[in-house]
């Protein structure tokens, strides 16, 4: 067994590998870029080596720097994680040539299966059902359009070295094929250093179901059940679960055996995943093979009770698999939510910056621990006070729950999301809460087009299902009553002028347009010692009991005898006196007042925000990589005006209306802040 391994990655996956290595008594070496010098994975590792500037092409994609770090530290093996160089056959080969063990498949397996074009050809030769398409690299955008027409729209334009949604577009017409081909090549070149692109038929209403494999150097390959990964937004997985609520035992067995046969054909060892597109009738087609550990591996770990990272390390050290196919278990139901730094209410724009608060829900399951299951697990590479940089992907954490069945797992996940406190950057937690409460998701009736269909106009606050809207109002009044009780108990108050906590309040729900709503609320039978009260909103009564302290953002307790977790904090960006209340994805900003103060507040004039429609503003922090217009140019609505790169994705800005460019206020190559003006129209 190795005594020291180097992790050629960053973020949560680097932290994940370190945890299992430590459990096995193996020392770890982290590598880091200038942007990651204070990152969590650097602090967790036994040693750390700087490998260059912030952009990944200058650091995490530099194979020679990683090899040099191995030699410098005496690391005997390299775990590549996922992304970066994890599926680069040349990197794997170079590592082996230097006498270092690659904790992953052999380079010839990566070359055969990791390359999307070659893997399709090999799968076809092996008799595996493949989706119609052209598996050779396409040279020009014009040729791409010609091929797309021949296959028939819609088509999928895909980078050969792509992964994680990068270098992938779906085109429904010639214009989209032309533009999509160019964008794919650019993204692939920047993210993977390989700009080969191919095209295949896009199967509409498909399910994305993948089989987890593990193989050893003795020729044994097992399938560890499946993962349902159909809940995707722009081809990025959002929620993953194991098992799938869709496929039958017969289909599971057939998919598993086919995946194993494919892996054995390329002498596959280590962890890998075969992805399938599954039709309504449970017919399945080979999509691709990921020759690495997947982001969503924890859900498989939960239902099988196996530590996949440990198995990868043991197989790489030459050990045989410690179990047979008959030993593979499938217990309970696991769900993973990817918590990303993006604003779901602003079309999921990336959100970078400092994590002012980062407090995940209480963990009862841990990485590398196969004993304590049926709980909550958080995989993350960040910590409170840390930075979410714009150079890498947007993932903050992965939230994993394990329940006895799917219903219990969904309930656990909703509660865990309610208790996940993230401040300083926006997160997609409200969106995740809405998805989990959607009737079709709860019934297991969805495919890869689910998010695009259900949220075609984008995600808005009103899209979040309201279990009980007035509960948030009641909770705000309860917390305010608690605060007044503490103020009333303070010593040194003048006789006759002490704080009167009272029991009659008006909760003013603040609206951006100034059309606030006023709700009378009564709080009776408040008992400070037990943190309990009876709160009446209209004709509805809530018996709330919570021992949480006033400075806790995440508060828990019971309402009418049922447990709840919610978030309440004082102060919003626009009003330091307001309370912000969040529960099950719904958020309200309120002021809790006496009836007289509310009466006076209603008389306050509304100040409208300034008109910024003549400006094109940067919707996110990022790099201005393209300016498509110049001063004096006439622009039509919908015309491309600029491209901003953030978190490895290109974001195109379009003109909202016809106009003439008066002034260009930012230069190509400039780092932009959120809402920074780029163009002014006259």
β-strand pairing of 554-559 with 562-570: antiparallel
Average pLDDT over residues 428-439: 95
- List the single range of 291-300, 351-360, 463-472, 601-610 with lowest mean pLDDT: 463-472
Place of tokens 């993350």: 380
| Domain identity same for 58 and 84 | yes
CATH number of the domain where residue 348 is located: 3.30.470.20
* Any domain includes 262: yes
d(CA 162, CA 213): 20
* DSSP states of 192-205: HS---EEEEE--SS
d(CA 110, CA 160): 13
| Domain identity same for 387 and 524 | no
| Domain identity same for 410 and 384 | yes
The model's confidence at residue 462, banded by pLDDT at 50, 70 and 90, is confident
Is the pLDDT at 2 greater than 80? The verdict is yes
| Domain identity same for 365 and 424 | yes
| Domain identity same for 260 and 173 | no
Average pLDDT over residues 637-649: 84
* Any domain includes 124: no
Is the pLDDT at 540 greater than 90? The verdict is yes
* Any domain includes 123: no
d(CA 482, CA 596): 20
Place of tokens 């970066």: 84
**Is the CB of residue 41 less than 8 Å from the CB of residue 11?**
yes
Number of separate domains in the chain: 5
DSSP code, position 114:
I
What distance lies between CA 637 and its chain's CA centroid? 32
- For 74, the token pair is 């005496």
| Domain identity same for 596 and 624 | no
Q: Is 288 a catalytic residue?
A: yes
In the prediction, which pLDDT does 406 show?
A: 98
DSSP code, position 485:
H
- List the single range of 162-166, 303-307, 407-411, 455-459 with lowest mean pLDDT: 162-166
Task: Count the helix, strand and coil residues of the chain and give each as a percent rounded to the nearest 5.
Answer: 30, 30, 40
Instruction: Please say whether the dihedral angle defined by the alpha carbons of residues 556, 559, 562 and 564, taken in this order, is positive or negative.
Output: negative
The model's confidence at residue 648, banded by pLDDT at 50, 70 and 90, is low
Q: What are phi and psi of 255, to 5 degrees?
A: -65, -45
Q: Of 103, 118, 151, which closes a domain?
A: 103
**Is the CB of residue 286 less than 8 Å from the CB of residue 206?**
no
The model's confidence at residue 220, banded by pLDDT at 50, 70 and 90, is very high
| Domain identity same for 305 and 345 | yes
Q: What are phi and psi of 143, to 5 degrees?
A: -65, -35
Within 10 A of 244 (CB to CB), how many other CB atoms are there?
A: 22
∠ at Cα 39 (37, 45), nearest 5°? Answer: 95
* Any domain includes 58: yes
In the beta sheet, which residues pair with residue 557?
Answer: 564
Average pLDDT over residues 326-350: 94
* Any domain includes 341: yes
In the prediction, which pLDDT does 164 show?
A: 64
CATH number of the domain where residue 23 is located: 3.40.50.20
Is the pLDDT at 132 greater than 80? The verdict is no
Instruction: Please say whether the dihedral angle defined by the alpha carbons of residues 333, 166, 116 and 281, taken in this order, is positive or negative.
Output: positive
| Domain identity same for 674 and 583 | no
The model's confidence at residue 163, banded by pLDDT at 50, 70 and 90, is low
In the beta sheet, which residues pair with residue 402?
Answer: 334
More confident residue, 48 or 154: 48
Q: Of 201, 234, 260, which closes a domain?
A: 201
In the prediction, which pLDDT does 28 show?
A: 98
d(CA 262, CA 273): 11
- For 465, the token pair is 């299902």
Q: Of 201, 222, 242, which closes a domain?
A: 201
Residue range of the domain that includes 643: 615-681
CATH number of the domain where residue 181 is located: 3.30.1490.20
* Any domain includes 427: yes
d(CA 420, CA 375): 15
| Domain identity same for 545 and 644 | no
pTM, two decimals, is 0.84
The model's confidence at residue 536, banded by pLDDT at 50, 70 and 90, is very high
Q: Calculate the CA dihedral of residues 163, 167, 169, 174 and round it to 10 degrees.
A: -150
Residue 267 Ramachandran class (φ > 0 left, ψ -120 to 50 alpha, else beta): left
Query: What does each C-alpha distance from 132 to 153, 290, 650 come to in angstroms?
Result: 12, 20, 28
Q: Calculate the CA dihedral of residues 84, 86, 87, 92 and round it to 10 degrees.
A: 120
Cis-peptide, bond into residue 53, ω within 30° of zero? no
**Is the CB of residue 33 less than 8 Å from the CB of residue 52?**
yes
| Domain identity same for 560 and 620 | no
| Domain identity same for 354 and 403 | yes
Average pLDDT over residues 36-63: 95
- Residue 156's Cβ-count burial label (10 Å; 0-12, 13-18, 19+) is buried
- List the single range of 160-174, 451-465, 478-492 with lowest mean pLDDT: 160-174
CATH number of the domain where residue 631 is located: 2.40.50.100
* DSSP states of 62-102: -HHHHHHHHHHHT--EEE--SSTTTT-HHHHHHHHHTT-EE
Q: Determine which one of 12, 288, 336, 342 is catalytic.
A: 288
| Domain identity same for 476 and 572 | yes
**Is the CB of residue 481 less than 8 Å from the CB of residue 501?**
yes
Q: Could you tell me where the DSSP H helices lie in 391-442?
A: 406-418, 429-437, 439-442
Is the pLDDT at 216 greater than 70? The verdict is yes
Is the pLDDT at 1 greater than 80? The verdict is yes
Three-state secondary structure readout of 43-65: HHCCEEEECCCCCHHHCCCCHHH
Q: Could you tell me where the DSSP H helices lie in 305-405?
A: 308-316
Average pLDDT over residues 546-568: 94
* Any domain includes 358: yes
In the prediction, which pLDDT does 415 show?
A: 96
- List the single range of 95-104, 283-292, 320-329 with lowest mean pLDDT: 283-292
Query: Which stretch of DSSP H or E encloses residue 249?
Result: helix 249-265
| Nearby residues of 123 by Cβ (< 8 Å), 6 or more positions away | 130, 262, 286
More confident residue, 167 or 509: 509
- List the single range of 256-260, 371-375, 650-654 with lowest mean pLDDT: 650-654
d(CA 533, CA 520): 16
Q: Which of 322-336, 492-506, 573-587 has the highest mean pLDDT?
A: 322-336
* Any domain includes 496: no
């Amino acid at each position: 067994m190795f005594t020291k391994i180097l992790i050629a990655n960053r973020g949560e996956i680097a932290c994940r590998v370190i945890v299992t290595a430590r459990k096995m008594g193996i020392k770890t070496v982290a590598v880091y870029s200038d942007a990651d010098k204070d990152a969590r994975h650097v602090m967790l590792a036994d040693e750390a080596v700087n490998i260059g500037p912030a952009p990944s092409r200058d650091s995490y994609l530099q194979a020679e720097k990683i090899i040099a770090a191995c030699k410098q530290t005496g690391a005997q093996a390299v775990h590549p994680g996922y992304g970066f160089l994890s599926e680069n056959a040349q990197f794997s080969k170079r590592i082996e040539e230097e006498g270092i063990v690659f904790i992953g498949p052999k380079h010839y397996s990566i070359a055969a299966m990791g390359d999307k074009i070659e893997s399709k050809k090999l799968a076809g030769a092996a008799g595996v059902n493949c989706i119609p398409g052209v598996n050779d690299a396409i040279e020009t955008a014009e040729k791409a359009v010609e091929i797309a027409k021949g296959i028939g729209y819609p088509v999928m334009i895909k980078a050969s070295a792509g992964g994680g949604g990068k270098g992938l577009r779906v085109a429904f017409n010639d214009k989209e094929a032309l533009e999509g081909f160019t964008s794919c090549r650019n993204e692939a070149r920047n993210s993977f250093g390989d700009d080969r692109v191919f095209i295949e038929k896009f199967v509409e209403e498909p399910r994305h179901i993948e089989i987890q494999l593990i193989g050893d150097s003795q020729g044994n390959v097992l399938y560890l059940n499946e993962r349902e990964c159909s809940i995707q937004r722009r081809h990025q997985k959002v929620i993953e679960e194991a098992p799938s609520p869709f496929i039958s035992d017969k289909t599971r067995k057939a998919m598993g055996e086919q995946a194993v046969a494919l892996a054995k054909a390329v002498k596959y060892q280590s962890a890998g995943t075969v992805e399938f597109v599954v039709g309504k009738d449970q017919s399945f087609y080979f999509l691709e093979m990921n020759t690495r550990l997947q982001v969503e591996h924890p859900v498989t770990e939960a239902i099988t009770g196996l530590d996949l990272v440990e198995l990868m390390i043991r197989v790489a050290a030459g050990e045989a698999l410690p179990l047979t196919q008959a030993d593979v278990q499938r217990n309970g139901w696991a769900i993973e939510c990817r918590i990303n730094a993006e604003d779901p209410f602003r079309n999921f724009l990336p959100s970078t910056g400092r994590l002012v608060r980062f407090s995940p829900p209480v963990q009862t399951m841990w990485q590398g621990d196969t004993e304590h299951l049926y709980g909550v697990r958080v995989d993350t590479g960040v910590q409170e006070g840390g930075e979410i940089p714009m150079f890498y992907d947007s993932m903050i954490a992965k939230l994993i729950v394990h329940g006895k069945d799917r219903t219990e797992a969904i309930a656990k996940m909703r509660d865990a999301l309610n208790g996940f406190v993230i401040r300083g950057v926006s997160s997609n937690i409200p969106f995740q809460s809405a998805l989990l409460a959607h009737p079709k998701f709860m019934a297991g009736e969805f495919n890869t087009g689910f998010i695009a269909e259900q949220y075609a106009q984008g995600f808005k606050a009103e899209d979040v299902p309201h279990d009980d809207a007035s509960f948030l109002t009641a909770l705000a009044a309860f917390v305010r009553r608690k605060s007044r009780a503490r103020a009333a108990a303070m010593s040194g108050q003048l006789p006759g002028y002490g704080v009167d906590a009272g029991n009659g309040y008006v909760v003013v729900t603040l609206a951006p347009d100034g059309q606030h709503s006023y709700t009378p609320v009564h709080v009776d039978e408040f008992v400070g010692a037990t943190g309990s009260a009876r709160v009446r909103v209209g004709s509805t009564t809530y018996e709330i009991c919570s021992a949480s302290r006033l400075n806790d953002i995440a508060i828990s307790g019971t309402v009418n005898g049922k447990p709840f977790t919610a978030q309440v904090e004082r102060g919003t960006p626009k009003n330091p006196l307001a309370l912000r209340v969040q529960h099950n994805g719904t958020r309200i900003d309120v002021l809790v007042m006496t009836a007289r103060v509310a009466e006076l507040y209603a008389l306050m004039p509304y100040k409208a925000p300034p008109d910024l429609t003549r400006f094109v503003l940067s919707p996110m922090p990022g790099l201005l990589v393209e300016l498509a217009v110049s001063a004096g140019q006439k622009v039509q609505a919908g015309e491309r005006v600029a491209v901003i790169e953030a978190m490895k994705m290109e974001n195109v800005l379009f003109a909202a209306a016809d106009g003439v460019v008066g002034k260009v206020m930012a230069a190509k190559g400039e780092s932009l802040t959120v809402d920074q003006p780029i163009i002014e129209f006259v």
